[in-house]
Structure 1
Amino acid sequence: MTKTSNRFALALALGGLVLLPACGETADETENSGATLSNGSQTMAATLGDASDLSTINDALVSSNLMGVFDGVGSYTLLAPNDAAFEVLGEAGEKLLTEEQRPLLVGLLRDHMLPGYLRPEDILSAIESQGGEVTVTTMGGSDVVFSSEGETLTVAREDGKSATFVGNAEAATNGVIIPIDSVLAPQ
């Protein structure tokens, strides 16, 4: 199946899900779906600020001036590398947060941002309905490929760099934050 038809199928599978939070979903309904709703009224920016294992991505979004995107009314999904994922980058990860590296940081972060409200179970459902991988274009213009092995979801860049979904996704009023175990940096 081609990338175009995979994208079309993902759009169809997820099209009705983008507006779910605006339709009065309750915390109990969300708990059963695999994502936890912070308090039903927090934006992604506030939810990310409260997440204990995502402080580095929070700092990176603030440093890059992209945090305002997650405080607005748009609907996004953030593939959020956890703190351990940034630690693996070592000194290179620390340099990313400097003023001089801001353009590089912005590009890297945009490749972790997806349009729409995509919960992990929605992605898994799209993979299952396609009988294999599903490709999505990031806000940075790169393609990422979602795949699964059982209930384990992974996301990979076109160059082969991949990450596994870890922990619980956090649903907010304007999107979903999905923790991943690696920074999807170019090879």
Structure 2
Amino acid sequence: MKLRAMTLPLSAAVLALAACSGSDSSAESDAMVESIPTALADADDMAKTAAALERTGVDGIFNGVASYTLLAPTDAAYAKLDDSEALFTDDEARAALAAMLKHQIVPGYLTLQDIASAIEAVPDGKVTMTAMDDTVLTFKEQDGKLVVVSDDGTTAHLGDESISSNASIAIPIDAVLLQP
């Protein structure tokens, strides 16, 4: 309960920083497209996440007006999983794939700069956000890079460039945060 109480103020701080950042970082993708699934399908090393969104129907949340940040595993991240191809071919794996995706979606349009600023603004250098599946993800800096840590300790490095759409944003990560 105490963790939840701490998560909400920090989440609000991150969202407030995102709302007023107004930054147009050069690391952000210049081309704005209608939806994150479309942008991912066109991006290098993101075909698996685009396919996962479509296969599970999770892509639908990115078609509305609400803003979300997707921590999008690269194709190389999926390749590290045992039998990752089964996630995309086995109908029984569809629910596990959807759960994995929901574990990597947080509310709001958060740029890399927003996350870095929020981390710098807190004394312990850690910012927590509640994912769509109601688990807590912790963002921090490690060895000069931004990382996200899942509640089970799985760590992923955030990529240097994000992929933007009109309402949402995807940040490539080098690991799958929830093992299916």
Once superposed, what is the RMSD of the aligned Cα atoms? Answer: 2.2
Q: Mean alpha-carbon deviation: is it higher for 47-56 or for 150-159? A: 150-159
TM-score (norm 2): 0.87
Question: How far apart in 1 are the matches of 2:176 and 2:129?
Answer: 17
1:16 Cα deviation from its structure 2 partner: 5.9
- Work out which of the residue numbers 93, 98, 115 in structure 2 matches 1:101: 93
Q: Which residue of 1 aligns with 2:127?
A: 134
1:19 Cα deviation from its structure 2 partner: 8.2
**Does the Cα contact within 8 Å between 1:56 and 1:83 map onto a contact in 2?**
yes
TM-score (norm 1): 0.84
Q: Which residue of 1 aligns with 2:142?
A: 149
**Does the Cα contact within 8 Å between 1:45 and 1:68 map onto a contact in 2?**
no
- Work out which of the residue numbers 24, 32, 42 in structure 1 matches 2:34: 42
Q: Which residue of 1 aligns with 2:8?
A: 7
What secondary structure sits across from 2:24 in the alignment?
A: helix
Question: How far apart in 2 are the matches of 1:126 and 1:46?
Answer: 29
Letter in 1 for 2:13: L
**Does the Cα contact within 8 Å between 2:147 and 2:157 map onto a contact in 1?**
yes
1:31 Cα deviation from its structure 2 partner: 3.9
What secondary structure sits across from 1:37 in the alignment?
A: coil
* 1:37-95 deviations in Å (ceiling 9; x for gaps): 32x3422222112112100011111111111211222100000000000001141x112
Question: How far apart in 2 are the matches of 1:6 and 1:108?
Answer: 21
Q: Is structure 2 residue 79 aligned with structure 1 residue 87? A: yes
Q: Count residues in correspondence.
A: 176
1:11 Cα deviation from its structure 2 partner: 1.2
Q: Is structure 2 residue 21 aligned with structure 1 residue 30? A: no
Percent identical residues: 32
Q: Which runs of 5+ in 2 are unaligned?
A: none
Letter in 1 for 2:152: D
* 1:85-133 deviations in Å (ceiling 9; x for gaps): 0001141x11222211111111111001111111111111111101211
Q: Which runs of 5+ in 1 are unaligned?
A: none
- Work out which of the residue numbers 68, 72, 75 in structure 1 matches 2:60: 68
Residues 37 and 72 (structure 1), Cα distance of their counterparts in 2 relative to 1, 3 Å cut: farther
Question: How far apart in 2 are the matches of 1:151 and 1:30?
Answer: 22
1:158 Cα deviation from its structure 2 partner: 1.3
Question: How far apart in 2 are the matches of 1:94 and 1:19?
Answer: 41
Residues 130 and 53 (structure 1), Cα distance of their counterparts in 2 relative to 1, 3 Å cut: same
Question: How far apart in 2 are the matches of 1:182 and 1:105?
Answer: 14
